[in-house]
């Protein structure tokens, strides 16, 4: 499973695998000549957690954010729809939220923007499920950030860019893709695709599904978690991934009431 910057393409330097303690030189900001060039001419994939952070930052419902700012890609290798940022065609497919001063939504920018200029590959060990990951640099011709005299360890960069929640929730999504690739799911029909889109990308609709249906009558869920799901969108997304694993792959990650 690989998470890498959206416009990485053929410039991924995967020959040099980096551990969390590996060092690299990089800096970005208005003082760097190429500042914001990486925000244009790109295909920016948005994960469910990206959509959650962005729509909350803009104070939009999930449906309004998706309709206004994204494009849904239906044909994908893993069979599940993906969401792409709708770029500004008038400015050369630049991100609609970038300004001359930088990203206007910087605190809630997508994970691909945060981790740049690194890429991340992660997988689960087939025997014990333990997490394995490595990193690599993404070098683009226009980027001058590598010329800056600022040294980071990979783990320092990840912490500075606030990647912990992004990696954790993205890993939960990738687990669903892997299960699908192993042929463990039911045969996906339109209803299953609708379930996936609702759970991953529509916070309000999924919350209504939990609390305005008989869902809680069927599943044995801890009361503390129930209360958290009412107000905590990140916890709700975590639960959505568990529910998809149960509903699509019959994994025993949720308990039915007797």
Question: In the chain, where are the structural domains located?
Answer: 2-174, 185-249
Pairing of strands 23-25, 151-153: antiparallel
Indicate the pTM of the whole model.
0.90
Distance CA 143, CA 147 (A): 9
- pLDDT tens, position by position, 60-77: 999 999 999 999 999 998
Distance CA 28, CA 150 (A): 10
Residues 209, 249: contact at Cβ < 8 Å? Answer: no
- pLDDT tens, position by position, 22-54: 999 999 999 999 999 999 988 999 999 999 999
How many other CB atoms sit within 10 Å of the CB of residue 189? 9
What's residue 126's pLDDT?
A: 60
The rounded average pLDDT for each run of 10 residues, N- to C-terminus, in the chain (258 residues) is 42 70 96 94 95 98 98 93 95 92 96 96 67 89 95 97 96 92 76 96 98 96 97 98 95 93
């Amino acid at each position: 499973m690989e998470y890498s910057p959206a416009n990485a393409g053929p410039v991924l330097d995967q020959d040099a695998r980096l551990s969390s303690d590996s060092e690299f030189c990089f800096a970005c900001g208005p003082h760097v000549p190429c500042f914001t060039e990486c925000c244009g001419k790109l295909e920016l994939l948005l994960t469910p957690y990206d959509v959650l952070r962005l729509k909350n930052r803009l104070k939009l419902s999930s449906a309004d954010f998706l309709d206004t700012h994204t494009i849904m890609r239906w044909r994908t290798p893993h069979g599940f729809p993906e969401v792409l940022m709708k770029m500004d065609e008038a400015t050369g497919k630049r991100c609609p939220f970038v300004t001359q001063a930088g990203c206007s939504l910087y605190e809630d920018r997508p994970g691909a923007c945060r981790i740049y200029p690194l890429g991340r590959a992660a997988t689960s060990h087939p025997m014990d499920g333990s997490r394995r990951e490595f990193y690599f640099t993404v070098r683009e011709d226009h980027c001058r950030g590598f010329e800056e005299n600022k040294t980071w360890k990979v783990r320092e960069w990840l912490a500075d860019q606030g990647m912990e929640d992004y990696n954790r929730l993205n890993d939960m999504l990738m687990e669903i893709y892997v299960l699908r690739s192993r042929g463990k799911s039911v045969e996906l029909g339109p209803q299953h695709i609708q379930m996936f889109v609702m759970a991953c990308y529509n916070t309000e609709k999924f919350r209504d599904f939990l609390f305005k249906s008989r869902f809680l009558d069927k599943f044995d869920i801890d009361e503390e978690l129930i209360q958290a799901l009412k107000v905590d969108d990140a916890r709700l997304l975590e639960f959505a991934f568990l529910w998809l694993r149960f509903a699509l792959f019959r994994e025993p990650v949720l308990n039915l009431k007797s």
